[in-house]
Amino acid sequence: PPAAAQLGILRRAHGVASVEAQLQCPLTLQQMKEPVICADGHSYEREAIEAWLLVNNVSPLTHQPLSHSRLVPNHALRSIIVAQRDCGSSCQEAGADSSWRIDPSKLTISGVVLGRGAWGVVREGTLLEDGLPRIVAIKQFPEADQVADLTRELELLAFATVRCSHVCRLIGVCRLDGLVCLVMNKYAESLHDLLARNGKLTLQQTLRLGIQLARAVGELHDISIVLNDLKPSNILMDKWGDLVLSDFGISTRIQNNLSRIMPSSIKGTTSYMSPEAFDPEMFGGVGPATDVWSLGCCLVEMASGVPPWDGLRHQEISRTVCDKRETPSLPDGLPAAAIALLSSCFKYEPAARPKASAVHQSLVAIDASQLQSLHSTAEASANASGDTRPLVLASVAFSEETKDVDNTVAARLEANAGASDGAAGARALDSPGVEKQDLDIALALSLSEQCHVVQTAATPEMEMQQLETALALSRAMAMQEDARRGRGE
């Protein structure tokens, strides 16, 4: 809906004073003009948070360490702020506002299909912004009776975008060639694409992506949104490997403090559906626990490379889950804690499953345990060889498409080479497998003189396992340093 209409919805739901307080920057306590989302999931005025990050690496609100320093423009919140400023108190009622509207003459839709669903087709397009082309994703609603579906999806997406940092970013809406078009940010690929290309992921990759995914689902549950169709093709990834959730076509928002809702029909993708999704009446409806089952299915697919119930038809899966009460098979080689966590996600009774936030906490604990184990192994090896230097990073590398962006960080590392006995430079290498966050960790540790960052060349003798071990050691030492600072040591 237009931003002014969305503002009216928010005011009626939460009260004028509450909504206007949410439009203020937590740092300046003034209404924001250019809101951006920080790594802690909260929105701030850009200038204020940039100044904060120059001297701090923790959240201004939670005081927890920030995983990165990237700032994402909060377009939906800015649109609501503009509507609030322009409309004032008269925005209590839904009204027309141009801030969500896109000039159709600036939008071109290509023939590239990014995805299809029961509620629309998503195509690639180009949007001219200030004379410069921007590649976008466009969800089309070709039939008049689908406008209601678009309105519902827009309401949920706008509501989530204001409050969550891990949802697909809304740009605006327009009508082009008789089609209603929802224009969104285009991401590098989906988790489905990644799995189709690489097969199953390593345990380290599964844990890292699983942590992001559980946090994203938990954010939506905190604002009472149930996805109803969580699956790898609806999990998008940017060029850094960060996840966002997309496709709110069959999502719902639970109202009036209810824990479940009764859908009008069976909805979802069979391989990821819970017992209550197949038979809502038996369980009294669907709710956040429905997404937790789907979250477990996504984790299983990441670790195994194949979706749950692969090869079975819809009716066979329904009978297996509902009548036989069977759960998806768990991949071999998982730690005992991971097996226990997945088993809890697949409890038959929805109330027995953990919350998404608890899944997130468990995955973080499992990841920390794995990193500590690798750290101990690397430390023992270093002691045996007589070289006890904390070698934190064996190589820093970028993929071709992100090199230009990341070279600025690499330059900062090289500029600090020789700055102290405890820091040395690192050079960007053209090899896959290393992410920007590993470079950020190396930079942070280098500047804090906590370790040596060594420069190496990409040689055939360097095994990817060695590289992953070095990177894991880097993250483990960073976690230890964060814990030490938290204790005030």
For residue 355, give the CATH number of its domain: 1.10.510.10
The 3-state DSSP class for residue 142 equals coil
Q: How far apart are CA 17 and CA 362, in angstroms?
A: 37
Asked if 285 and 209 sit in the same domain, the reply is: yes
Asked if 418 and 339 sit in the same domain, the reply is: no
Q: How far apart are CA 152 and CA 138, in angstroms?
A: 17
- Asked if pLDDT for residue 56 goes beyond 70, the answer is yes
Chain CA centroid to CA 303, Å: 18
**Residue 76, domain CATH:** 3.30.40.10
Asked if 142 and 115 sit in the same domain, the reply is: yes
The residue-averaged pLDDT of 107-114 equals 89
The verdict on residue 374 lying in a domain is no
The residue-averaged pLDDT of 71-80 equals 84
- Asked if pLDDT for residue 455 goes beyond 90, the answer is no
Asked if 174 and 216 sit in the same domain, the reply is: no
- Asked if pLDDT for residue 398 goes beyond 50, the answer is no
The verdict on residue 25 lying in a domain is yes
Domain boundary among 129, 155, 186: 186
The verdict on residue 377 lying in a domain is no
Q: What is the pLDDT of residue 363?
A: 94
Asked if 18 and 142 sit in the same domain, the reply is: no
Reported pTM: 0.61
Surface-to-core class of residue 23, CB atoms within 10 Å of its CB (0-12 exposed, 13-18 middle, 19+ buried): buried
The verdict on residue 320 lying in a domain is yes
The verdict on residue 384 lying in a domain is no
The verdict on residue 45 lying in a domain is yes
Asked if 173 and 235 sit in the same domain, the reply is: no
Domain boundary among 140, 166, 186: 186
The verdict on residue 138 lying in a domain is yes
Q: What is the pLDDT of residue 379?
A: 61
Q: What is the pLDDT of residue 425?
A: 36
Is 267 among the annotated ligand-binding positions? no
Q: Confirm if 429 and 442 have CB atoms less than 8 A apart.
A: no
CA 303-304-310 angle, to 5 degrees, is: 135
The verdict on residue 376 lying in a domain is no
- Asked if pLDDT for residue 376 goes beyond 60, the answer is yes
Domain boundary among 349, 364, 379: 364
Q: How many domains does the chain have?
A: 4
Q: How far apart are CA 253 and CA 184, in angstroms?
A: 21
CA distances from 243 to 139, 331, 455 (A): 19, 23, 30
Asked if 199 and 310 sit in the same domain, the reply is: yes
Asked if 176 and 205 sit in the same domain, the reply is: no
Asked if 86 and 164 sit in the same domain, the reply is: no
Asked if 178 and 202 sit in the same domain, the reply is: no
- Asked if pLDDT for residue 218 goes beyond 60, the answer is yes
| Rg, the chain, Cα only | 24
- Asked if pLDDT for residue 190 goes beyond 50, the answer is yes
Domain span including residue 429: 389-486
Q: Confirm if 446 and 416 have CB atoms less than 8 A apart.
A: yes
Asked if 420 and 345 sit in the same domain, the reply is: no
Asked if 182 and 244 sit in the same domain, the reply is: no
